[in-house]
Amino acid sequence: MEFSAQQIAQLIGGTVEGNPDVMLSAFDKIESAGPKALTFLSNHKYAHYLPSSNAGAILISTDFQVSEPISATLIRVNDPYGALAQLMTMVDQLTNPQPVGIEQPSFVAPGVEIPEDAYVGAFAYIGAGAKIGAGAKIYPQAYVGNGVSVGEGTIIYAGAKIYRGCVIGKNCIIHSGAVIGADGFGFAPQPDGTYAKIPQMGRVEIADNVEIGANTTIDRATMGRTIVGKGSKLDNLIQIAHNAEIGENTVMAAQGGVAGSAKIGSNCMIGGQVGIAGHIAIGNKVNIGAQSGLHTNTPDGAVLMGYPAQPARQWMRQQAQLTRIGELIAKVRELEKQIKSLEN
């Protein structure tokens, strides 16, 4: 499948500089793209690749100033990364049509209605009382428990497990290995040193347009709900504990953990391996750097790094000072010698 640079520009509202008739049939990185590939530049630290790039065309910002000759055709847009996402979505929809129908062997409990445009893959299980929305795709070996609600257009990939009573909104994506609605970590200490399990009677509610990465786990509430808000995106290998709440349009990178009853606001950006303690509240539009640990409430708009987390600028100053510890220790020892000499 090929498109000219001019056709692509028309699709995304861009303007062409260079050969509008160059034909493009692939996407690639700016440093390795060939003459048939479309690439992009959104981060200026990669600008040094522009003069040497062999790409057929490059998506570039309307306000980027080119200082050296470039052989590639440029397609100027307001947001190169957003335009690339739009184009790749179009190509994906054209080249990877979604399946429909019910494959066998699979199990659909009596009374559960599967819409004509939905898909249930081989060896999938759909329990009693489940509700499957129009256009939903449930891939092979997925498990949808009793009373689960799956919204319109939602995709549940192979091997994902959704326990009883959980609610998944419209146009969500649940990747392979994800577990939604397993028991929260609730145990009551006993006088003899053992632990009595506390039944987890709540559920998980995932709003519309949420994406859950592979092998991410979201525990059901002890009572009430564990919530992931509309438009939020969770990476692979994340643990969300019972009764936690995540607001709308919050993104969280891999290997993070959110402890029980923590509340995270909307439009937050949380780096990889971040740990969030239980029963704290994080405000809206908070940015948290990778490997940080939060133990206290956080106001709106905070930018945090470190363990324990602190304002990012303060943390970076401390890290810079740590590199001088050896030098400072040597100076202190020298001063101690001088003081001892004076005392003598």
Task: Tell me the CA distances in angstroms from 170 to 37, 147, 149, 158, one per residue in order.
Answer: 34, 16, 10, 18
Task: Tell me the CA distances in angstroms from 254 to 37, 154, 245, 251, 274, one per residue in order.
Answer: 30, 22, 18, 10, 9
Q: Which parts of 63-134 are beta strand (E)?
A: 73-77, 101-102, 107-108, 119-120, 125-126, 131-132
Distance CA(209)–CA(188), nearest Å, equals 36
CA angle (294, 213, 37) in 5-degree steps: 115
Judge contact between 150 and 133, C-beta under 8 A: yes
Residue 242 bears catalytic tag:
yes
195-231: b (≥16 Cβ within 10 Å) or e: eeeeebebbbbbbbbbbbbbbbbbbbbbeebbbbbbb
Given the residues 48, 242, 279, 295, select the one marked as catalytic: 242
36-57: b (≥16 Cβ within 10 Å) or e: bbbbbbeeeeebebbeebbbbb
Query: At 322, is the secondary structure helix, strand, or coil?
Result: helix
Catalytic residues: 242
